[in-house]
A and B are shown apart, each in its own frame.
Chain A
């Protein structure tokens, strides 16, 4: 497809379980970003990839969160031992180059932790 895609679109899980969220950026985009939007909150930056490497992981909320990107394309965001406060919409975006003016967003994954 032409845009950023994310899967699953919705995920409901029980507290304590691990979840994996996937992002397929626009083909050729070297930069990939993960954000989180909690209910009533703005967009919270989580992590950014330039190619396959993430220069700064300090935006991840806790050590239960990890992310990787392989082949300069697909990225996965993994949340271990999920907590109820992890419930949010997780958004992925990509841009042609790092720091480019416009980031193109995927539709998001709505995570609900029971």
Chain B
């Protein structure tokens, strides 16, 4: 039962252009949404988060948009850089409960120089 879905397994973008990574979820009770970035042979690193009561959070080149009515969020990276090439995981957090962080299956972003 996949509560968080990333339907695009991969994405290729030219350097300098915008990368848009998408994520859908099913549980309207999630409190926060997070994006993690993962390089090969490393653990995921936290990138940016957004509270469920907001619709946008921006941090430098990274912006996350949340559309609660559509149960959809997206991560925008602009301008994209070759060092951004990694697997990006979307995650949703429930503040109550033991199993409280639900991950998507990831999207592999390749930024072409």
Contacts and interface: CB of A to CB of B under 8 A. Distances in A.
Interface secondary structure of B, over-half rule = loop
Given A33-B101, A42-B105, A99-B95, A108 B34 contact: no
Interface of A is mostly: loop
A91 B43 contact: yes
Interface in B18-50: 32, 34, 36, 41-46, 49
Interface residues of B, number: 29
Contacts of A43: 44, 89, 91, 103
Interface of A: 4, 6, 33, 35, 40-43, 45, 48, 50, 54-56, 59, 91, 93, 98-99, 101-108, 110
Interface of B: 2, 4, 6, 32, 34, 36, 41-46, 49, 89, 91, 93-106
